[in-house]
Amino acid sequence: MIDKTSLEASEQQPVVNFNAPAMTLGESQLAGDPDGYELDLQATWYPTGQSPAAVVLPPQTYRVTGNNALVRVDCANAPCDGTVTVAGPPVATKAVAAARALKSVTYASGTFKLAAGASNQVPAKLTSKGRALARKHKKLKVTITVKLTNLSPIKTLTRSVLLKF
């Protein structure tokens, strides 16, 4: 091993095992030893038996009630914070306009905060296009996207479902 302060060889072996008390979730600490060696470590710590947050969108038909699309979100393993977006193809009255419309339209969106293991109906507020869609249709196949914003990188789950108005 080389001592970087004097560039002389040292017979001392580096410490392989370093025992320190466990840190709490979200705590950061810079560790160093009295010989001048420093360990710079960045990690995510999860309590025993837990892993990063995960969401589940049950395969079911989702409904619009009032001015909200109700999206059932199940949270597992850790707290879940995120957004819900309901999007679909643009609904046009003419076949030519429908053929030209390739871009997806957002019909509703909302946010949620759930505890680990919790489930809830997340209200996604309808946009003006979503309200217009609800007046014209009884059901439509849409895509629901759930993004977990409390994870880095952001985790995304997408599912095609039937939305009833």
In a domain, 60, yes or no: yes
Pairing status of strand 139-148 against strand 119-126: unpaired
pLDDT reported for residue 119: 92
- Neighbouring C-beta atoms of residue 129, cutoff 10 Å: 15
- CATH assignment of the domain containing 62: 2.60.40.2550
pLDDT band at 81 (very low <50, low <70, confident <90, very high): very high
In a domain, 104, yes or no: yes
Q: How far apart are CA 72 and CA 112, in angstroms?
A: 11
In a domain, 80, yes or no: yes
Predicted confidence (pLDDT) at residue 101 exceeds the cutoff of 90: no
Q: How far apart are CA 161 and CA 114, in angstroms?
A: 22
| Domain that includes residue 87, residue range | 54-164
- Per-residue pLDDT of 54-75, as tens digits, reads 888 888 889 999 999 999 999 9
Most confident of the following: 104-113, 130-139, 148-157: 104-113
In a domain, 90, yes or no: yes
Count: domains in the chain: 1
pTM over 0.85: no
- Per-residue pLDDT of 14-34, as tens digits, reads 555 656 665 566 666 555 544
In a domain, 9, yes or no: no
